[in-house]
Structure 1
Amino acid sequence: MTAIPARLDHLVLATPDLAATVDDFTRRTGVAPVPGGVHVGLGTRNHLVSLGGTSYLEIIGPDPEQPEPSGARPFDVDSLGAARTVAWAISPPDLDAAVATARSRGYDPGEIRPMSRRRPDGTLLEWRLTDGDTQHPSGLVPFLIDWGAAPHPTASGLPTTPLLSLTATAPAPEEIRPLLAALDTRLPLGEGPLGLSFTVDTPRGPVAFG
């Protein structure tokens, strides 16, 4: 059985040094992530790689060309000592219905809020996602995303490293599994230190990232 969750939209590899992490990914895999765009006002930018189908990897870090943001940068990139897989997202058929269903099952994935970034070609992408203090802080429970009318990132011809597996460990896995079930998704989850890891297929063979 494959260890890839249904409706996986993307994985988030956060880093305090975007250029260094992109270089490391390129060196290890033989595949170079491409610039995704700038999160204006948030102080971050990203690079992207397709994981096959409509799933992709987002490598996100501080944008040195932006002024310091008024608040914390997304995914607490400033507090990271090294690159780390910090979150994942699923794309349900109906975002609002999925949030309502999860709440009825005892888990609040957070408020739905609009987001945007500008691609290198100037195109503004706008989407909605769940965010907020009610999300589980572990990063093991996915946030939800709806791209609406925006072109999905994988539609732009990204370089590809097919995803072979996505797994996680947690000190108390039994606390996480009901939350995944509330979102109608699954994640291979074992007992251990808190963490997400994934493996991709590359021209240099399978490569794992934590």
Structure 2
Amino acid sequence: MTDPHLDHLVYAVPDLLLGVADFAARTGVTPAAGGRHPGGTANYLVSFGDTSYLEIIGPDPEAEDGLQRSVFDLETLSEPRLITWAVHPTDLDKSVRQAREHGYDPGDVEPLSRRTPDGTLLEWRLTRRDDSAPVRPVPFLIDWGGTTHPAASGLPRLGLAAFSAVHPEPSALRRDLTALGVELDIAEGPEIALRAVLDTPLGQVTLA
């Protein structure tokens, strides 16, 4: 079961160019350069359709030495990891209010932006919650506003066959997801993890 409001999955890698090359070798699909973020990260993208995609994010190889890279704890990441995901609600601000009323605080809404390789400025808003966990199974919320959704910009494409979570306390995770109005298959396990099964030209590939 994949939530109909799925926006994107975030696959973090310690070395961006090596991570992209490995992904291309495993799937037969070469991700497209997405752009550079303020703060020293950059990404590559693969579409699941017109409204959802996979983001491969890592330290920007062109960033100045010593630039802080606190996003998703990339400075301590030692191996690729499916680290979080995003949903695009119909009304972001309303969803934040309703989640808080139901006992889950998704964090404050902040504006962000990045430039594509051709110089186009993309702007969006998302919820940012203080969370030091290495994997975050509760999604953040995103609103692209008037910006063309990245998935609809001619990205290389593959299929998302399944997306799920593993959690030691499934009921606690379901409670938070319900507060956000989000659906996700959950299995009980000793450690928190996200898993995506991709349909690729080379067969099914699992990211975790």
TM-score (norm 2): 0.95
Give per-residue Cα distances to partners, 1:51-89, cap 9 Å, x unaligned: 123110000000121125664431111111100000000
In structure 1, what is the equivalent of residue 107 of structure 2?
110
In structure 2, what is the equivalent of residue 53 of structure 1?
50
Aligned partners of 1:170 and 1:194 also within 8 Å:
yes
Q: How does 1:13-162 map to 2 (within 5 A)?
A: 13-40=11-38, 42-68=39-65, 71-133=68-130, 137=133, 138-162=135-159
What is the one-letter code of the residue matched to 1:119? T
What is the deviation of 1:184? Answer: 0.6
In structure 1, what is the equivalent of residue 172 of structure 2?
175
SS in 1 for 2:200: coil
In structure 1, what is the equivalent of residue 161 of structure 2?
164
SS in 1 for 2:21: helix
Alignment coverage as a number of residue pairs: 206
In structure 1, what is the equivalent of residue 204 of structure 2?
206
Structure 1: tracts of 5 or more residues without a match: none
What is the one-letter code of the residue matched to 1:28? R
In structure 2, C-alpha distance between the alignment counterparts of 1:123 and 1:131, rounded to whole Å: 24
- Return closer, same or farther for 1:151/1:79 CA change in 2, 3 Å cut-off: same
Structure 2: tracts of 5 or more residues without a match: none
Fraction of identical pairs, as percent = 51
In structure 2, C-alpha distance between the alignment counterparts of 1:34 and 1:64, rounded to whole Å: 15
Q: Calculate the aligned-residue CA RMSD, in Å.
A: 1.4
Aligned partners of 1:128 and 1:145 also within 8 Å:
yes
What is the deviation of 1:136? Answer: 8.6
SS in 2 for 1:201: strand
Aligned partners of 2:7 and 2:51 also within 8 Å:
yes
